[in-house]
């Protein structure tokens, strides 16, 4: 039997009923102004909160994928619930959402593992993790059928980021793949402080300044719960020839709920050739 990871957030973080889910995503995509994007999209940065909070921000990135085709998608997120070293790969079967099962690209997963000794098969890292699953309905909506490789980072230090980026790049350099980093920004600060903290990350994203991002995260000058995945996506996209970076949208939960006393930040960005 295939190893299918069942949804753990359908019906709570996003609608559990397929038509309602499609309608929500269609509305978010429709609300995004049309933007011409010349060049090949190599990587996206997207948030991973519940759709009512960050779905609209994510849609700014995902709308760019309409009509696109990729050999595979590499989806990288942080571990929220399980502590472990290195990076966990889900290398067989697929992930299920209300829109169907997204198959793991098993051949590519094996290939990635062969290029990096920091990657382990640690299913517990995936079983309750929301940062990857939350991206899949958007991808199913804009890409249709696709396969992917799910990677959860237990360690987001600079050394792990560099090793993971190099391993993935070696595995995908002869293929047309999309890299997606799943990350929210600062958590539970007042509105003004959150915007200041998030502004530091956003500047690094816009400047394609990986070293500066990793340094500022390491000394807590700024925050991003998926800072490691963001750095990895930036590194791989550079290796794949991305020359341009564009911040597409920034907002925080206070902009959605009106409660600005304690907010979470969200951003979407694209790296392209």
Query: Domain holding 261: CATH number?
Result: 3.40.830.10
5 in any annotated domain? no
Per residue in 127-152, pLDDT (tens digit) is 999 999 999 999 999 999 999 999 99
Rounded distance, CA 231 to CA 211, Å? Answer: 9
Domain residues for the domain of 27 are: 15-272
Do the domain assignments include residue 212? yes
What does pLDDT average to over the chain? 95
In a domain, residue 34? The reply is yes
- The answer to whether 179 touches 226, Cβ cutoff 8 Å, is no
Where does the pLDDT of residue 2 fall: very low under 50, low under 70, confident under 90, or very high at 90 and above? Answer: low
158-189: buried (b, 16+ CB within 10 Å) or exposed (e) per residue? bebbebbbbbbbebbeeeebbbbbbbbbbbeb
What are the C-alpha distances in Å from 79 to residues 4, 196, 261? 19, 25, 26
What residue has token string 């991808």? 139
Are the C-beta atoms of residues 189 and 181 closer than 8 Å to each other? no
pTM: 0.96
Number of H helices, E strands in the chain: 11, 12
Is 2 among the domain residues?
A: no
Predicted confidence band of residue 1 (pLDDT cuts 50, 70, 90): very low
From the number of C-beta atoms within 10 Å of its C-beta (0-12, 13-18, 19+), residue 134 rates as: buried
């Amino acid at each position: 039997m295939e190893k299918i990871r069942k949804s753990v957030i359908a019906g709570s973080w996003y609608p559990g009923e397929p038509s309602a889910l499609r309608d929500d995503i269609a509305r978010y995509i429709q609300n995004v102004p049309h933007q011409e994007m010349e060049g090949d999209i190599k990587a996206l940065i997207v948030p991973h909160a519940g759709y009512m909070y960050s779905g609209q921000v994510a849609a700014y990135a995902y709308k760019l994928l309409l009509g696109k085709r990729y050999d595979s998608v590499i989806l990288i997120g942080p571990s929220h619930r399980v502590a472990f070293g290195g990076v966990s790969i889900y290398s067989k079967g697929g992930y299920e959402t209300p829109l169907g099962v997204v198959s793991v690209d098993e051949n590519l997963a094996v290939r990635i593992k062969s290029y990096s000794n920091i990657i382990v098969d640690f299913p517990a890292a995936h079983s309750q993790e929301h940062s990857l699953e939350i991206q899949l309905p958007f991808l199913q909506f804009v890409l249709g059928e696709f396969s992917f490789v799910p990677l959860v980072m237990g360690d987001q230090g600079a050394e792990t980021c560099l090793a993971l980026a190099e391993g993935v790049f070696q595995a995908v350099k002869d293929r047309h793949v999309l890299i997606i980093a799943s990350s929210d920004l600062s958590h539970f600060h007042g509105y003004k402080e959150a915007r200041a903290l998030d502004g530091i990350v956003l500047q690094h994203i816009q400047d394609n300044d990986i070293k500066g991002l990793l340094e500022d995260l390491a000394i807590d000058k700024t925050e991003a719960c998926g800072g490691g995945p963001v750095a990895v996506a930036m590194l791989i996209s550079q290796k794949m020839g991305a020359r341009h970076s564009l911040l597409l949208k920034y907002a925080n939960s206070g902009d959605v709920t009106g409660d600005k006393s304690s907010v979470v930040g969200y951003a979407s960005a694209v790296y392209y050739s």
